Amino acid sequence: MSSGAAELGHPPQRLPEWVRVRPPQGTDYRAVRETVAGLGLGTVCQEARCPNLSECWSAGTATLMLLGTDCTRRCGFCAVTTHWPNGAVDRTEPERVAEGIARWGLRYAVLTQVCRDDLDDGGASLMGETVAAIRTRSSSTLVELLIGDLGGKESSLRTILGSAPDVLAHNLETVRGLSDRVRDRRASYDRSLTVLREAKEWGKPGLVTKSSVMLGLGEQADELDATFGDLRDAGVDLLTLGQYLRPTPRHLSVAEYVRPETFAALRARALAAGFAGVEAGPLVRSSYHAEDLFRAARSRAA
């Protein structure tokens, strides 16, 4: 990436040619759409306006969102609706999610959550129940759980780890110098590193940890190298790097559209820093090709 990215608030005016979204195609896309609608499931694909929705649904998979679709935080990059649910929780959600995964016959399921600061445990108990329900219905399915920071509560993290996900992910989102501007004021760069470090220390033997960083917000190359080092010091195994795309005019502007060859170079640098697996590209998101990344990393570690 360039050493002098534009300031936030002054974005390039047009999407470059390398940022392209595939149109929906095939019977799998329709099947996923119908299951999501029929079971009333929330997906991060829809709520966060993911550019890979068509590709992933056409491949017969989706990233399911737990604890409803309204988030109690307001990050400058995220399209998910901000709302304070006052403790409301749908206790049927774990079984509905497990049913959807069983219908799709997934080998690998990715679950994420909205932040729920209105709940004492941040929603940890319901997330644990959901993993348990999946294990009951689809015992061979691998589960990746992408969590928030849970308000930094140790007991909540231990509850989630007790459900024994195969991958525990938590996104750092950006470099230290931009974190306060990009993320909700209740988030913290250091708290996120602590969540990842403690997950590695307290999780089951062999637990894989994962994080994600957005590019194009004004970060510099040396800041990214420092971030890679911080994540590795926290024991993080897998990393995804993707382009920030502004979801609405109310959100942070894009400072730079990072070229594909720069993503390739950053992937090489991250691998050299010690990550077992790295996925990097303009349209990469934290759950993009999640199973492939997990299995490739596990093969390298074997």
Map out the domains of the chain with their CATH numbers: 26-210+220-237 (3.20.20.70)
**Residue 282 to residue 18: CA distance in whole angstroms:** 8
Which pLDDT value is given to residue 297?
A: 76
109 Cβ partners below 8 Å, 6+ apart? 64, 101, 134, 138, 141, 142, 143, 144
Lowest mean pLDDT among 42-56, 97-111, 117-131, 179-193: 42-56
The stretch 78-88 carries a mean pLDDT of 90
Which pLDDT value is given to residue 30?
A: 58
Which pLDDT value is given to residue 52?
A: 47
Which pLDDT value is given to residue 7?
A: 37
Q: Tell which wins on pLDDT, 31 or 214.
A: 214
Which pLDDT value is given to residue 247?
A: 86
Lowest mean pLDDT among 64-68, 124-128, 269-273: 64-68
Q: Tell which wins on pLDDT, 239 or 27.
A: 239
Q: How do residues 274-302 score in pLDDT, each as one tens digit?
A: 999 999 999 898 888 888 889 887 877 66
Whether the pLDDT of residue 57 is over 60: the answer is: no
Do 108 and 291 meet the contact criterion of CB atoms below 8 Å apart? yes
Q: Given CA atoms 141, 147, 152, 155 in this order, what sign does their dihedral have?
A: negative
Distance, CA of 284 to chain centre = 10
Other C-beta atoms within 10 Å of 27: how many? 9
**Residue 293 to residue 298: CA distance in whole angstroms:** 9
Q: How do residues 111-148 score in pLDDT, each as one tens digit?
A: 989 999 999 999 999 999 999 999 999 999 999 999 99
44 pLDDT band, cuts 50/70/90, is very low
Give the closest residue to 73 by CA, choosing from 186, 203, 200: 186
150 pLDDT band, cuts 50/70/90, is very high
116 Cβ partners below 8 Å, 6+ apart? 67, 71, 72, 85, 122, 123, 148
3 pLDDT band, cuts 50/70/90, is very low
- In terms of Cβ atoms closer than 10 Å to its own Cβ (0-12, 13-18, 19+), residue 300 is exposed
Radius of gyration in angstroms for the set of CA atoms belonging to the chain, rounded to a whole number: 18
Determine how β-strand 142-146 pairs with β-strand 108-113: parallel
Which pLDDT value is given to residue 80?
A: 85
Q: How far is CA 98 from CA 176, 277, 286, in A?
A: 37, 28, 21
Task: Report the DSSP beta bridge partners of residue 110.
Answer: 63, 144
Helices (H), 109-253: 124-137, 154-162, 176-182, 189-202, 221-233
**Residue 244 to residue 211: CA distance in whole angstroms:** 15
pTM of the model: 0.86
**Residue 106 to residue 97: CA distance in whole angstroms:** 12
Q: How do residues 191-216 score in pLDDT, each as one tens digit?
A: 999 999 999 999 999 999 999 999 99
